Amino acid sequence: MDPLAVEATVPHVRKMRREDVDAVVAIETEAFSSPWRRETFMELIDRPTAELFVMVHRDEGVIGYAVLWCVLDQGELANVAIAARMRGRGLGRALLAEVLAVAKSRGVESVFLEVRESNAPALGLYQEFGFREVGRRRGYYDHPREDARILMAKI
């Protein structure tokens, strides 16, 4: 196959735009039991402490997204998700790598996040990137009620 044709089908990561929000909300609703509302994403797009990204596939459109807060030398990965139909292809790994690179370029030295303790795929991915448990939030998640593991990585 032509290398340029292959490259054209590789998803890329870019800043989220307002026209991406409906696709992002669809992924958010599919991925989380207590999803953020459309208005939340719209409000965050212009906020200077927030970095919002989408992963875009030429044929599939928006297939993933991430939200990162950056305050001084700390970051918080608030949300990250890949569309269910596209999972298991290493796309979450690629998206996380891009997000952490942007965090580092903004002077962030450590990134925190919360993850359901039952979310083994996400926990495994975060561990690959050097995230380690630094605490727990008891009963943090609803539907079902579950603890959150607080993870942190130095970048």
* Positions marked catalytic: 114, 126
Q: What would you report as the CA-atom Rg of the chain, rounded to the nearest whole angstrom?
A: 15
Q: Name the strand (E) or helix (H) holding 47.
A: none
Closest CA to 93 of 67, 60, 69, 127: 127
In whole angstroms, how far apart are CA 149 and each of 3, 61, 82, 146?
A: 42, 32, 20, 10
